[in-house]
Structure 1
Amino acid sequence: MFEMVLQNLLTPAVMFFVLGVIAALCKSDLKIPAGLGETLSIYLLIAIGIKGGIELSHYSLNSVIRPLMGTLCLGIAIPLITFFIMRLIKMDLKNSIGLAATFGSISVVTFGTSISYLEKQGTTFEGFMSAMAALLESPAIFVSLLLLKVIENKKHPVPTHSQNVGIVASSPFKMFDRKLIIESIFGKSVLLLLGSLFIGLIIGERALPVVKPLFIDLYGSVLIIFLLIMGLMAGERLPEVRKHGMKLLLFGLYMPLIGGTLGVLLGHLTGLSVGGSTLMGVLAGSASYIAAPAALKSSVPEANPSIYLGLALGVTFPFNLTFGIPLYNQLAQWIQ
């Protein structure tokens, strides 16, 4: 196990991430050109999606239905578990919901790094796992916001009768206004992942001559630059997380282990290989810093971004990058 962790730590991508963290903590004048991080994130989303779509074209619906249902179960269970833990440690309602949405959704960069890790290990995995990544982006956001609405309705019930209108049906789904649905389903990360996935699925192997030089051959090199940027961002967020106490800091370390273990177990139960179960663990153990914060910003503005974004990016992301991925892989091997 120690050898696997050390091997992962000594990869160029992870070491550049650590370099970024050190630069931020030491107040270095290292600056990344504006817009470069956004550009690289778009590249990574397209690369993961289109490669997954090409691989998915080799599978039938019957072979993916069980992992698909398992992924949806994770999208419901993890935000509920997160919310329950947050209430146990006396976190307020709005920030509990923020963390539930963040930890229930996924980190595409962690997923992409785990793919590179498995490929270097020579571990094969199901090509349709990119579809599972796209599927797991949004459910936790909806579940978390629905939970918030249900709790608020219990605390402040809406009158069911009105003199002028008559009976008014109060539904928790009223919270899902058009703007929220557009942001959650057609936001950048989900749109690019699903769109690229469908393009790869429709075109199949015929897409390889065009996409391979840029989106497959250069993927590892681009990931290095992006993780340097992520390291700078994580280093800047760490002081914010420390302000909120040790309980929250520890949560950022043990929650990915809880989610990752559930993901690996569910991957095994749905018939995935060791590599596929590892990726399912990575998805379940990661935390979103793109899709979920974008939805929370407009839907739960009272939630503190320094808590849910700082914890996801400053604690859970580096933990998964260095220790989590090898741990999930080892667990998948033990279960298999």
Structure 2
Amino acid sequence: MEFLSDALSNFSSPMILFFLLGFISTILKSDIEIPEVITKTLAIYFMIAIGLKGGFEISKSGIDTNLYTSIINSLLIGVIVPVVAFLILKFVGKFDSTNSGAIAAHYGSVSVVTFVTAISFLNSKTEPYSGFMVGMMALMESPAIFVSLFLVRIFNSEKIASLKSNTVDLLKESLFNASVVLLFGSLLIGFAVGEKGITAVKPFFIEPFNGVLTLFLLDMGMIAGKRIAEFKAVGLFLFFFAIIMPIISASITIFLSSLFGFSVGDILLFTVLAASASYIAAPAAVRIALPQANPAYYITMSLAITFPFNIIVGIPFYYYLINMFR
């Protein structure tokens, strides 16, 4: 079966194996450590690198109907996924509105590193994808946060003062956080400079991409391993939700994206964005808007369960589903 073949080949990927090394080393109490300043530098590197490449690809292909339909698809996914997540948590899991909204915001928002790993997977399969998908990733960062908070307002009988008093801070955090600014900014720069400009920075931002990703995933593995101790706080329902919800989101996205007639590569990237859970932008926004929500829930779920599931099993599984239904 193609899925099993892709899943097994995933374990021959240096990036995935270094993620597992970081995860296991933390459990074994190894003293491997990557300074936080390097981790932040690597994150900035990825956002600039994928933004520049995306902008360059748009400059080659031009702005067309496919771009506009992609924006519509992104906004639909950004609304549907958090609503589905919230309703499952609220009415099946019986969680309060505040925690349901906080978790839904994370599962409606996106993971940049999962997206980058999916690009690496597509490159290994020589599967083409559109450069503007970087813009879709940045576009999908914020809608889910606002949709989730709107649902909390509707379902929560208590007055949540922070939703009213911190609106400006929330807007700033959601729309102007570092990832959104760097991604959109780099995208515009890549579009403006074109091939000549990209050639100048290619040796630093394009060619070493997979090597830098390997180092970053080593660090992500260690961070995920450190949250193992919090699994008890998450509980069985949330543990299974963190695995099943990405599959539900992926199924919805594959259906919607297929209706628009996108390529296999673009559908996979849309699917990975929908199936991933944010652990950078969403936590910052939720801390401002819903300080009562339990961080042990949403951070542990997104980082220690959904993230490893997606990069090890999810990406090849979604690719298999897309090809099966086309």
The 5 A counterparts of 1:170-185 are: 174=164, 177-185=167-175
Contact 1:263/1:283, CA 8 A, preserved across alignment:
no
Query: What runs of 5+ residues in structure 2 fail to find an aligned partner?
Result: none
The 5 A counterparts of 1:64-79 are: 64-79=67-82
**Amino acid in the other structure paired with 1:15:** L
Deviates more, 1:219-228 or 1:239-248: 239-248
Contact 2:233/2:297, CA 8 A, preserved across alignment:
no
Contact 2:119/2:269, CA 8 A, preserved across alignment:
yes
Task: Label 1:298 to 1:156 Cα distance change in 2 as closer, same or farther (>3 A).
Answer: closer
Aligned twin of 2:86: 83
Tell me the distance in 2 between the aligned counterparts of 1:56 and 1:211: 17
**Amino acid in the other structure paired with 1:118:** L
State the identity as a percent: 43
Match of 1:8 among 7, 10, 31: 10
When normalised by structure 2's length, the TM-score is 0.94
Tell me the distance in 1 between the aligned counterparts of 2:158 and 2:118: 44
Post-superposition CA distance 1:45-67 (Å, at most 9, x none)? 11111111111222323221112
The RMSD of aligned alpha carbons is 1.7
2:145 paired with 1:141: yes
Query: What runs of 5+ residues in structure 1 fail to find an aligned partner?
Result: 159-171
Tell me the distance in 2 between the aligned counterparts of 1:24 and 1:178: 39
2:9 paired with 1:19: no
Aligned twin of 1:165: none
- SS of equivalent to 1:289: coil
Aligned twin of 2:44: 42
The 5 A counterparts of 1:191-230 are: 191-230=181-220
How far off is 1:156 after superposition? Answer: 4.9
Contact 1:133/1:283, CA 8 A, preserved across alignment:
yes
2:294 paired with 1:304: yes
Post-superposition CA distance 1:279-336 (Å, at most 9, x none)? 1110110000000001011111111111101100000000000111001111111222
How far off is 1:198 after superposition? Answer: 1.2
**Amino acid in the other structure paired with 2:260:** T
Contact 2:276/2:310, CA 8 A, preserved across alignment:
yes
- SS of equivalent to 1:122: coil
Aligned twin of 1:63: 66
2:246 paired with 1:243: no
Q: How many residues align?
A: 321
Aligned twin of 1:332: 322
Tell me the distance in 2 between the aligned counterparts of 1:91 and 1:115: 35
Higher-Rg structure is: 1
Contact 2:163/2:289, CA 8 A, preserved across alignment:
no
How far off is 1:203 after superposition? Answer: 2.0
Task: Label 1:64 to 1:307 Cα distance change in 2 as closer, same or farther (>3 A).
Answer: same
When normalised by structure 1's length, the TM-score is 0.92
Runs of 4+ in 1 over 3 A off after TM superposition: 172-176
How far off is 1:40 after superposition? Answer: 0.5
